[in-house]
Amino acid sequence: MKHPDLPIVYSPHYSIPWDPKHRFPMSKYQRLYELLVAEGLAHRGNVKVPSPCPRDTLALAHSLPYIDRFQRGELTERELKHLGLVWSEPLVRRTVTAVGGTLLTCRLALEAGLACHLAGGTHHAFSNRGNGFCVFNDLAVAARYCVEHLGLNRVLILDCDVHQGDGTAAILGNEPRCFTCSIHGARNYPFEKQRSDLDVPLPCGTDDTGYLAALEQTLAQLDQSPLPELLIYDGGSDVHQEDRLGRMNLTDRGVIQRDHRVLAWARKRGIPVACVIGGGYDHDHQRLAERHALLVRTTHRFYRDYFSQSDFAN
């Protein structure tokens, strides 16, 4: 039986006009998409274009005054400095569309068992402020949406970006239906950590062997909690040894094994997985797109080999 291709979520609004010397690699989204099209992994049949996230849905995780001030361009100079982005109307459009993209990825994962978003993972945004290139917290918004509007009783966010998901932990700290787990660099940004439901801090220079051992222990710990009805997986590429901000020492093979082990753990337990690409930094944006593509290629192979629509049909 031939299965449909992996559902992929992408919008041409993700890469906007941007100073190529800016610290945030804005062009990586378009480059990643074009790379996947060239490889035949992304095409008209499996790429889904998201709609902007509505204001009332953003409000599941963010205060209305903050939402409105950002959208009107009224953030203070200090707030913009913490955010690290240059405000513009295209930035507003890309931001709300990217959150909508993670929402769509979750819905597709619940239908098909697995889906991948070519953006997302803005886990440093708090309820009333942005931080670290993150305006709105798509992970928190999506998790709250799933429990409030899709009837899920438990959502797991497994954040394997090299930076702790501090905003996600803070926003969902009092939400018992959403479990937050962050595997991150102990001495990397943010330097003031929040408390996730499960934090796994790792030393600088952690290699493939050390990281995968920590991941296995973490998955074993997650088995001690009630199983989630959806896993939102942040597979950040910034754990890679060539990432300019990561301070880790994972090879391509290590990143691929990380992603495969997470997917295999979820598959064995019948948990749908919504993947987001998370963080990744390199002055060479094409090389960075190649590293983000590791997650999508692994997810594509896993979907082709193990998933079918019927497995998750109601």
Give tens-digit pLDDT for 83-125. 999 999 999 999 999 999 999 999 999 999 999 999 999 999 9
Q: 1 pLDDT exceeds 80?
A: no
Contacts of 271 by beta carbon, 8 Å cutoff, 6+ apart: 156, 227, 228, 229, 230, 231
Q: 158 pLDDT exceeds 90?
A: yes
pLDDT the model gives residue 4: 73
pLDDT the model gives residue 147: 98
- All domains of the chain, ordered by start, with CATH? 8-307 (3.40.800.20)
Kindly state the percentage of the chain with pLDDT values over 70. Answer: 96
Give the predicted TM-score (pTM) of the model: 0.96
The mean per-residue pLDDT over the stretch 170-183 comes to 98
The mean per-residue pLDDT over the stretch 33-57 comes to 98
Q: 273 pLDDT exceeds 70?
A: yes
The mean of the pLDDT values for the chain is: 96
Tokens 């708090």 correspond to 126
pLDDT the model gives residue 2: 47
Contacts of 274 by beta carbon, 8 Å cutoff, 6+ apart: 102, 105, 106, 108, 109, 115, 117, 142, 230, 231, 232, 233
The mean per-residue pLDDT over the stretch 221-248 comes to 97
Q: 313 pLDDT exceeds 50?
A: no
314: confidence class by pLDDT, cuts 50, 70, 90: very low
Q: Which of 111-115, 211-215, 301-305, 306-310 has the lowest mean pLDDT?
A: 306-310
Residue of 165, 214, 212 whose CA lies nearest to 189: 165
Q: 308 pLDDT exceeds 70?
A: no
pLDDT the model gives residue 14: 98
